[in-house]
């Protein structure tokens, strides 16, 4: 093989191998570099730059999920005893195993394609994927977030033989606003600017693509100041007979969509490494939604005419990953001179590795090329013939007659050495909440502080920038009520206008619990995603979930131990609820270095996204109070679980017990509530999460512009083990598996019979006068709903 861009590798020492990996931004470990070295020693030649870049991208944590697929030596220290287990593929033994054991018939494609797919009905499937785009968003929030949502939309366009995107969702974790600059943060974009531009990026891309953004969350925590998390998700509609794809040798490799520039080169390896200063602008990608929208139209038309046999998107690693992935069972020859470029001067390896956006790669039978090109022409989409699939088992890349890459695909995909990591978990000693008294804050003052807390306060200024109506499918939207102020728990979409069927989308995330115990964080996140889904009319029977792990430095055994704990909870609670995981993504090593070189990790974060099918979207309900005189009932049990709560945060208290989830009890409550909603017995329903009962009550009043009179004197609650007044505990505990429901007086007895007596507590009634009054032996607080709304919306107003 002749090449002018060979890299001397075979003669390097271990130290030199590592140095080379670092200099070239390959993020390959010594074991991986040695495996590559051995391969080329056997080949009796040196690698080319394209080959090394291709291997580095393919073997990156971003693409290969090395940690989750590697061996993990896990030690758990509990009650003075040590327990050890070696996981031979953590993902397989937890998340995927739960799905396999549940073996749900409605799961049509799980963990094998660009997205998970469940059955909507006999003809259609629902595809769902959530991705993260963290490091790019830290550097250039607008471009990073825009390409984050653009990328996950392409995942849906490239699942099976292509799905039509029908909804987007997004969750952002950013640093707290108003932080003083310090040594650690002096060169970073402030959280205010990061969030503003992230929102702009998601808004511009989603709106321009004509896809509604229906569901999401925003969390503020100092731990995300340097390394924000940007989760973007898309739901798609796909015919069930278009789920399978298969590449055959002899078919053409065709690329459609955007031109290729230097955008995002080294994106995959960069996303697997720590953020440092002085990064190149070539790492930044800027998206173009219009180009992607046009490419989508081509795909949907060509799919209906059965013009291609496989498709995937160009994501991390660009053509190297997309072509390499499609060619994994056969082989491919690629001619880089056929790639349309944004500008001249790109080296062959740059063309091959570029992460320029809006590109899709298809496998096309030769006979269909002319028709396909005609569709591209009518939709004004650039189409280029990159090469063809072969049966050689090799990836061959040429440029102007010269071969630059000749790799054994088996080595490329399976030659990576297994990662081995140590993980350690010490059972946390539950320290009592560090309650400080005298207690000057009255219950009403605490409620006001909670309502103003950025995690809880209205996100109106964000939501109103997104189009959540386009395509005309939105049934339950982000806001509800008299003046569209009440925050709904989940989104409901009517999937097709000739059917009442629909999908429910929700999410659960709470990194505060992870600081105390990632196991219970994961359990609570699953519980939260599901109870949100149940609140609007979803059900467990057709529900599937997605995991998105964002973790810190997994080379630290204790941080790795937390990841194992969270994965174990995913297995346990997926099984408890009978809800399978269908897709997921991990983003590890979310770390950054300050000027002194000190490495920091983000808070352990797990986003759970849930999707469920509704047979009749007319049965969906919202969270706003509907009518004066109706009864207000608490479903579920309240416990003294104030650790990691927003109550503890606004009081500046640490420690305490995080909420635990009783999986079986929770599942029974969810099934019962779901049935009651489907029978029309519940007028409104709101899940209890951040800020507990007090916040949920306020939000329901705000949504309905109605008041409520609540009497806690009849409520039986466990006595407080700390000095927290029991009323505050009852109002602000974040115990899992609880809802507030509104019942017509005629329905109270019937609904009461459905639930266990200790999980059905009548609190009071909806009141015509818009005043929220809560009393126990004496009045704890009495606020006008307008005042509560003013406080709850104050954060949003300050950002508008």
Partner 1 sequence: MRSFLIEVDPCLKGSSEGRRLKIEKLFQELGFGKLECVKIAALYRLEGELSQSEAERISKEILRDSVAESFVVDPKPQDEKTFFVDIWYKKGVTDSVGVSLLKAIKDIGINTVTQAAHGERILFHQTSDLNNSETLEKKVVQFVDQNLLNPLVQECKLTGLC
Q: Coil, helix or strand for 658? A: coil
- Which two tokens mark 534? 């149940």
Report, in Å, the least distance between residue 49 CB and partner 1.
20
H/E stretch holding 301 reads helix 289-304
Residues 791 and 462: their CA atoms lie apart, in Å, by 17
94 or 384, CB closer to partner 1? 384
Q: How far is the CB of 281 from partner 1 (least distance, A)?
A: 5
Indicate the residue among 290 and 374 with the shorter CB distance to partner 1: 290
Secondary structure of 761-777 in the HEC alphabet?
A: EEEEEEECCCEEEEECC
The nearest distance, CB 196 to partner 1, in angstroms, is 10
Structural tokens at position 779 = 């009045």
Alpha carbon 552 to its chain centroid, in Å, reads: 16
Cβ burial of 482 (10 Å; 0-12, 13-18, 19+) is: middle
- Closest approach of Cβ 324 to partner 1, in Å? 24
Nearest to 283 by CA among 353, 377, 215: 353
Beta carbon nearer to partner 1, 460 or 477: 460
Cβ(707)–Cβ(767) below 8 Å: yes
CB closer to partner 1, 201 vs 481: 201
The residue (of 382 and 773) whose beta carbon lies closer to partner 1 is 382
Alpha-helical runs (H) found in 578-681: 646-651, 663-678
SS3 499: coil
CB of 265 to partner 1, least distance (A): 12
Can you list the positions of beta strands (E) in 151-271? Answer: 164-174, 213-220, 229-239, 252-257
Measured from the CB atom, the residue of 197 and 683 that comes closer to partner 1 is 197
Helix (H) or strand (E) holding 130: strand 124-132
Question: Which residues, including other chains, have CB under 8 Å from residue 295's CB and lie 6 or more apart?
Answer: 157, 256, 257, 358, 360, 381
CA neighbor of 66 nearest in space, from 560, 509, 520: 560
Q: Distance between CA 468 and CA 343 in Å, rounded?
A: 37
CA distance 689 to 542: 23
Shortest distance, position 190 Cβ to partner 1, whole Å = 8
Please identify, using beta-carbon distances, which residue of 236 and 287 lies nearer to partner 1.
Answer: 287
Q: Tell me which residues touch partner 1 (CB under 8 A).
A: 139-143, 189, 193, 197, 261-263, 279, 281-282, 284-291, 342, 356-357, 800
d(CA 123, CA 257): 29
Separation in Å, CA 442 to CA 10, 785, 791: 71, 18, 16
Nearer to partner 1, 176 or 553 (CB): 176
Cβ atoms 338, 79 nearer than 8 A: no
Give whichever of 261 and 704 is closer to partner 1, judged by the CB atom. Answer: 261
Q: Give all strands of the β-sheet with 420-426 in edge-to-edge order.
A: 81-88, 71-78, 420-426
Peptide linkage before 438 cis (omega within 30 of 0): yes
Instruction: Please tell me the distance from the alpha carbon of residue 190 to that of residue 404, in angstroms, as a whole number.
Output: 43
Using DSSP, state whether 603 is helix, strand or coil: coil
Q: Which of 133, 413, 453, 686 is catalytic?
A: 133
CB of 120 to partner 1, least distance (A): 34
CB of 282 to partner 1, least distance (A): 8
399 is catalytic: no
CB of 342 to partner 1, least distance (A): 7
Q: How far is the CB of 380 from partner 1 (least distance, A)?
A: 8
What's the burial of 108, exposed, middle or buried (CB within 10 Å: 0-12/13-18/19+)? buried
**Residue 585 exposed, middle or buried by CB count within 10 Å (0-12, 13-18, 19+):** buried
- Under DSSP, the state recorded for 6 is B
Q: How far is the CB of 460 from partner 1 (least distance, A)?
A: 14
Residues 411/750, Cβ–Cβ less than 8 Å: no
Which neighbouring-strand residues pair with 87? 72
Residues 6+ apart with CB under 8 A from 180: none
State how far the Cα of 98 lies from the Cα of 574, in Å rounded to an integer. 6
Question: Cα(451)–Cα(794) distance, rounded to whole angstroms?
Answer: 9
How, if at all, do strands 213-220 and 164-174 pair? Answer: parallel
Q: Which of 506, 736, 512 is nearest to 605 (CA)?
A: 512
Task: From the candidates 62, 65, 413, 453, give the one annotated as an active-site residue.
Answer: 62
Task: Please identify, using beta-carbon distances, which residue of 184 and 369 lies nearer to partner 1.
Answer: 184
H runs (alpha helix) in 477-556 = 511-514, 518-535
Mark whether 133 is an active-site residue.
yes
Q: How far is the CB of 358 from partner 1 (least distance, A)?
A: 9
CB of 335 to partner 1, least distance (A): 24
DSSP 8-state assignment for residue 180: P
User: Which stretches does DSSP call E strand in 541-666?
Assistant: 544-550, 581-587, 591-593, 599-601, 605-614, 631-635
Q: Kindly give the residue spans of alpha helices, DSSP state H, lying in 415-478.
A: 443-452, 460-463
- Residue 176 — φ and ψ, nearest 5°? -70, 145
Closest to partner 1 by CB, 287 or 703:
287
β-bridge pairing 707-711 and 771-775: parallel
Question: Which residues are the active-site residues?
Answer: 62, 133
């Amino acid at each position: 093989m002749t090449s002018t861009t060979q890299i001397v590798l075979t003669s390097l020492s271990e130290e030199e191998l590592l140095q080379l990996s670092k200099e070239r931004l390959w993020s390959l470990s010594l074991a991986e570099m040695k495996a590559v070295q051995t391969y080329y020693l056997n080949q009796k030649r040196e690698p080319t730059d394209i080959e090394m870049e291709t291997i580095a991208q393919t073997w990156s944590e971003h693409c290969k999920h090395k940690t989750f697929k590697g061996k993990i030596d896990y030690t758990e220290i509990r009650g003075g005893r040590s327990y050890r287990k070696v996981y031979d593929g953590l993902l397989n033994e937890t998340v995927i195993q739960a799905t396999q054991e549940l073996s749900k018939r409605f799961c049509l494609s799980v963990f094998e394609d660009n997205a998970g797919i469940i059955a909507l009905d006999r003809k259609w499937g629902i595809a769902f994927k959530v991705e993260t785009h963290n490091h790019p968003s830290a550097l250039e929030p607008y471009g990073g977030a825009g390409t984050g949502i653009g990328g996950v939309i392409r995942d849906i366009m490239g699942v099976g033989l292509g799905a039509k995107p029908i909804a987007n969702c997004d969750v952002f974790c950013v640093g707290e606003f108003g932080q003083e600059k310090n040594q650690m943060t002096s060169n970073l974009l402030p959280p205010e600017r990061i969030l503003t531009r992230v929102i702009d990026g998601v808004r511009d891309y989603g709106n321009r693509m004509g896809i509604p953004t229906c569901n999401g969350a925003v969390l503020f925590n100092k731990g995300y100041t340097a390394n924000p998390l940007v989760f973007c998700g898309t739901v798609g509609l796909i015919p069930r007979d278009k789920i399978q794809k298969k590449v055959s040798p002899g078919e053409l490799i065709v690329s459609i969509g955007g031109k290729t520039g230097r955008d995002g080169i080294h994106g995959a390896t960069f996303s697997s490494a720590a953020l440092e200063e002085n990064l190149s602008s070539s790492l930044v990608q800027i998206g173009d939604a219009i180009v992607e929208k046009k490419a989508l139209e081509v795909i949907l038309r060509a799919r209906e005419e059965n013009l291609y046999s496989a498709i995937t998107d160009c994501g991390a690693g660009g053509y190297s990953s997309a072509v390499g992935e499609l060619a994994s069972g056969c082989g491919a020859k690629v001619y880089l001179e056929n790639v349309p470029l944004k500008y001249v001067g790109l080296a062959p390896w740059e063309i091959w590795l570029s992460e320029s956006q809006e590109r899709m790669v298809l496998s096309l039978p030769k006979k269909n090329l002319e028709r396909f090109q005609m569709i591209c022409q009518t939709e004004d989409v650039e189409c280029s013939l990159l090469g063809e699939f072969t049966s050689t088992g090799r990836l061959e890349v040429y440029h102007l007659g010269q071969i630059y890459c000749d790799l054994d695909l088996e080595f490329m995909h399976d030659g990576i050495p297994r990662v081995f990591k140590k993980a350690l978990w010490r059972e946390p000693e539950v320290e009592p909440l560090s309650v400080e008294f005298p207690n000057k804050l009255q219950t009403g003052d605490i409620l006001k502080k909670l309502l103003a807390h950025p995690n809880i306060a209205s996100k109106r200024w964000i939501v109103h920038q997104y189009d959540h109506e386009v395509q005309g499918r939105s049934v339950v939207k982000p806001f509800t009520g008299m003046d569209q102020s009440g925050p709904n728990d989940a989104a409901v979409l009517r999937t097709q206008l000739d059917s009442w069927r629909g999908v429910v989308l929700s999410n659960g995330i709470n990194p505060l619990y992870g600081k105390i115990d990632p196991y219970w964080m994961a359990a609570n996140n699953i519980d939260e995603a599901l109870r949100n889904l149940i609140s609007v009319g979803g059900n467990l029977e057709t529900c599937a979930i997605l995991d998105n792990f964002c973790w810190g430095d997994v080379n630290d055994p204790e941080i790795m131990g937390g990841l194992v704990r969270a994965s174990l909870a995913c297995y346990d609670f997926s099984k408890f609820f009978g809800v399978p995981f269908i897709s997921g993504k991990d983003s590890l090593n979310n770390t950054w270095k300050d000027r002194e070189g000190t490495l920091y990790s983000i808070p352990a974060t797990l986003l759970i996204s849930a999707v469920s099918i509704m047979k009749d979207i007319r049965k969906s309900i919202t969270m706003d109070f509907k009518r004066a005189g109706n009864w207000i009932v608490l479903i579920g049990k309240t416990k003294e679980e104030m650790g990691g709560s927003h109550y503890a945060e606004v009081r500046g208290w640490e420690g305490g017990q995080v909420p635990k989830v009783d999986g079986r009890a929770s599942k029974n409550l969810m099934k019962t509530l779901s049935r009651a909603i489907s029978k029309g017995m519940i007028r409104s329903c709101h899940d209890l999460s951040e800020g507990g009962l007090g916040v949920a009550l306020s939000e329901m009043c705000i949504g309905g512009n109605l008041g409520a009179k609540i009497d806690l004197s009849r409520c039986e609650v466990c006595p407080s083990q700390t000095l927290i007044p029991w009323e505050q505990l009852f109002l602000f505990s974040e115990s899992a598996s609880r809802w507030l429901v509104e019942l017509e007086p005629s329905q109270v007895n019937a609904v009461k019979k459905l639930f266990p007596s200790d999980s059905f507590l009548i609190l009071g009634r909806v009141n015509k006068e818009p005043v929220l009054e809560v009393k126990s032996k004496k009045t704890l607080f009495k606020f006008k709903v307008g005042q509560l709304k003013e406080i709850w919306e104050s954060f949003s107003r300050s950002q508008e």
